[in-house]
Structure 1
Amino acid sequence: MKQLVAFDLDGTLAESKQPLKDEMGEALADLLGVAQVAVISGGDWPQFEKQVASRLPDRADRSKLWLMPTTGTKLYAFKDGAWSAVYAELFDDATRAKIKTAFDEALEATGFVPEQTWGERVEDRGSQITFSALGQQAPLEAKEKWDPDHAKRKVIKADLEKRLPGLSINMGGATSIDITQKGVDKAYGLKKLRDASGISLDAMMFVGDAIFPGGNDYPAKELGLDTVRVRDPDETLSVIATVVTCQHA
């Protein structure tokens, strides 16, 4: 019996940067009836609010839901009828500027400058800086075609690691690379969640679509959590249904 089920967001609970579908909102409400739930991803709080918080049905027990933007460097909980930050860990200005310069240099060096972009490619999320190859507003179809096997981002990631040796660099979403303080990844976020919730890591499980070496969900597996790798949100629905059934048994 698991006390808490943690999820990645994009590619796991929803399509990239899209709101949860009604069916997923209902499934999470069912799950919140039998366990605590956490969502940890690279997006900042406004994205979480749009994709998750605003998409849950009224019956969902939000008091049992933990939302963890920017790879767990921020934590939000629902208290007194509203979402509030439990903590937030932010970059200093010098590090922020260094990261933005490194992105431009890495793209030029690796030759993966896309022909077309939609919106800003670099988003400063305070505690995390995220590079989206095709831009923050790129259509899902274009994003899915750009790097389906992660090959381009693996090359960019390797280049960035040479330029930013003191930072943590991970692939996320369909076209993104997330940069946080050294040691900050989903394992770090899950340990922070353990401390905030009082739930041991042994009593947690993690569900994500990027549980592979270099993927930003892989640290959860390395941490020793029971993990389930899914292909897409439809498969996640099946996982949730199974967990709810087992928790009722």
Structure 2
Amino acid sequence: MVNCSGTTMKGTPRMNYQLIALDLDGTLLNSRKELPEDAVRAIREVCAAGKTVVFDTGRAVPELAEQIALLPEVRYAIFCSGAGLYDTREKKAFGLQPIPAAQTERILSVSRTKDIMPQLVLADRDVIQASHMEQLEHYNMGVYRPMYEKAMTLVPDIYAFAESCKEPYLKINLYHAEVAERIRTRAQLETPDLELVYSEISSLECSARGVSKGSGLERLCGLLDIPLEACIAVGDADNDIPMLRAAGLGIAMGNAPDYVKTAADRIVSDQDHGGCTEAIMMLVKN
């Protein structure tokens, strides 16, 4: 929170911040899902100054291909909302925290009875049912169509695939046609053994207990020997709240809902007006 002098209670302008964790959708990317040139320049500038930039995103690795190719300076990504870490240079996922098999069965048994598009996320691929690609707008995911066409693995029957697949899932996204139905699905799935978080317009993210963007940031910082208080986190949505609270300085985008802004220490401009670039440059201005 910001005090009356404009200095944050948790983050301080005098802190020597070493790392910034960036959400992608709604934060680093603009509303057209583009990576603005000013943000690219800012990331390159702070990396050249010896700072560390990481992606901390709900996306899976295949969905990061464009950003990784454009920004080789960003070595690490926290993906699947904290369920895995990824070394972009080694092209290697590590530190995986999958959903227990019993909970996967519960999630899919509920999903079968509803108008839902499940997305099954493994360490190396995203899987959706082929027929759902024609219904992305119905599930409020039409803006992601170009990325989905490149990144998704399509199967004829998502439930048949789940029954035959022996690999664990890092995350299961349940895309609903209606927000009200998402609320009912969450109520059915609530258990201490799962982390359930709203994302997008009508999606429900299902992860293993204790998994969040904040826990992922904590694990990566431990490996890099960077204190959490020397980190900045930037985000705009429900699933960003844990990392905003975990970091030394949590920054909410101007397009974030009020309850996300309340969880942050500072607020910057929105995703279409340089907000993320403003946050990135705090690494070298402080």
- 2:54 is matched with 38
- 1:75 is matched with 85
Shift of residue 181, structure 1, vs aligned partner: 0.5
Equivalent pair of 2:98/2:207 in contact (CA under 8 Å): no
- 1:61 is matched with 73
Q: Supply the RMSD in Å over aligned alpha carbons.
A: 3.3
* Structure 1 length-normalised TM: 0.71
Residues 1:229 and 2:225 aligned together: no
Tell me the distance in 2 between the aligned counterparts of 1:73 and 1:177.
15
Specify every segment of 5 or more residues in structure 2 that has no aligned partner in the other structure, as ranges.
1-15, 129-135, 146-177, 256-269
Tell me the secondary structure at the aligned position of residue 95 of structure 2: strand
User: Which moved further from structure 2: 157-166 or 26-35?
Assistant: 157-166
Match of 2:210 among 183, 189, 194: 183
- 2:21 is matched with 6
Tell me the secondary structure at the aligned position of residue 124 of structure 1: strand
Distance 1:174 1:22, change over 3 A: farther
Tell me the secondary structure at the aligned position of residue 2 of structure 1: coil
Equivalent pair of 1:30/1:244 in contact (CA under 8 Å): no
Specify every segment of 5 or more residues in structure 1 that has no aligned partner in the other structure, as ranges.
114-119, 142-151
- 1:121 is matched with 117
Shift of residue 61, structure 1, vs aligned partner: 3.0
Tell me the distance in 2 between the aligned counterparts of 1:70 and 1:122.
15
Distance 1:168 1:222, change over 3 A: same
Shift of residue 125, structure 1, vs aligned partner: 0.7
* Amino acid aligned to 2:33: Q
* Amino acid aligned to 2:70: R
Mapping of residues 104-119 of structure 1, within 5 Å: 104-105=112-113, 108=114
Match of 1:207 among 230, 234, 250: 234
Q: Highest Rg: 1 or 2?
A: 2
User: Which moved further from structure 2: 223-232 or 40-49?
Assistant: 223-232
Residues 1:156 and 2:182 aligned together: yes
Tell me the distance in 2 between the aligned counterparts of 1:139 and 1:126.
23
- Cα-to-partner distance string for 1:31-60 (whole Å, 9 max, x where unaligned): 22231111111111000123x10222xxx5
- 2:13 is matched with none
Tell me the distance in 2 between the aligned counterparts of 1:88 and 1:17.
30
Match of 2:111 among 103, 118, 132: 103
Tell me the distance in 2 between the aligned counterparts of 1:140 and 1:67.
20
Distance 1:93 1:6, change over 3 A: same
Equivalent pair of 2:230/2:247 in contact (CA under 8 Å): no
Distance 1:37 1:130, change over 3 A: farther
Tell me the distance in 1 between the aligned counterparts of 2:179 and 2:127.
13
